[in-house]
Amino acid sequence: MNPLQAVVLGVVEGLTEFLPVSSTGHLTIVERLLGLRVDDAGVTAFTAIIQVGAIVAVIIYFRSDIVRLIGAWVRGLLHAEARGSQDWRTAWAVIIGTIPIGIVGLLGRHLVSGPLRSLWVVAAALIGWSVVMLVAERLGRQDRGERDVTVRDAVVIGLVQCAALVPGVSRSGATISAGLLRGLDRVAATRFAFLLSIPALIAAGGFEATTAAGDVADSVGWGPTVLATLVSLVVGYASIAWLLRLVARRSIAVFVWYRVALAIVLIVLLATGTIAAV
């Protein structure tokens, strides 16, 4: 991989990680257009590793919230009277909500890095999950805020987050939709989705960095991988700020039309043989 390809993929990751359009789906499409083998172990690991840059952007953006939640969690472990705070419950919600994708991601990692990397899967998931997003916007009561997040919410949202392992679904699209269906308002659902993404993506990126280091070095190179990760951090930070402002005023349904249009273009390119599925 050359530096220009690394920058392009870093920009794609940073732009799409937090928007409900599927970062993995976009990376798979762009990697294929750049002539990379999307089913190659090193390319698959690269795709997971550069997400860490976007997650560092989340940590920086929400640093005060993270420090507050960690502090509340530690105080709750040490002092029983501190366990009645909402921050204690939110901290546990993030921890518990992360467990499902940790288990499913580990058990299904070969499926995710193999058959599910097909661009036909990406196209189908882009359209399929768009329906879920529209239903969530239509049926979600949106009468609960961030301080109302419960452990039950976390379990449901965490289970739905597992769907994001399918390229084209979108992690934020899955978790925000689940939050809306649980009655959270858009801002609360989006902020919780961001917090929930931190442990999951750090674990995924760290796992790939340690277990597939040789594959990355052989097929992609660590220089381009680090460069793409840094680019995704900068672009990801800007994307977070923009999305939070957007969901405060607009429905996430605005992304549905883009997802469907992209899927249609992708299907045409695949059907005509312009690009290969893997």
Out of 99-103, 203-207, 242-246, 267-271, least confident range: 203-207
Q: How confident is the model at residue 71 (pLDDT cuts 50, 70, 90)?
A: very high
Provide the pLDDT for residue 114: 63
Q: What length is written for the chain?
A: 278
Out of 5-9, 30-34, 35-39, 136-140, least confident range: 35-39
* Contact of 181 with 136, CB cutoff 8 Å: yes
Provide the pLDDT for residue 219: 79
Continuous H helices in 34-170: 41-49, 51-61, 63-78, 86-107, 109-113, 119-139, 151-161
Q: How confident is the model at residue 260 (pLDDT cuts 50, 70, 90)?
A: very high
Out of 24-38, 133-147, 152-166, 183-197, least confident range: 24-38
Instruction: Convert the pLDDT of each residue in 37-61 to its tens digit.
Output: 777 778 888 888 888 888 899 899 9
Residue 219 neighbours by CB under 8 Å, 6+ apart:
37, 40, 41, 42, 43
Q: Which is nearest to 59 in space by CA: 194, 152, 232?
A: 194
Matching residue, tokens 């269906």: 181
Mean pLDDT of 105-111: 72
Q: How confident is the model at residue 112 (pLDDT cuts 50, 70, 90)?
A: low
107 burial via Cβ count (<10 Å: 0-12, 13-18, 19+): exposed
Q: Judge whether residue 11 has pLDDT over 90.
A: yes
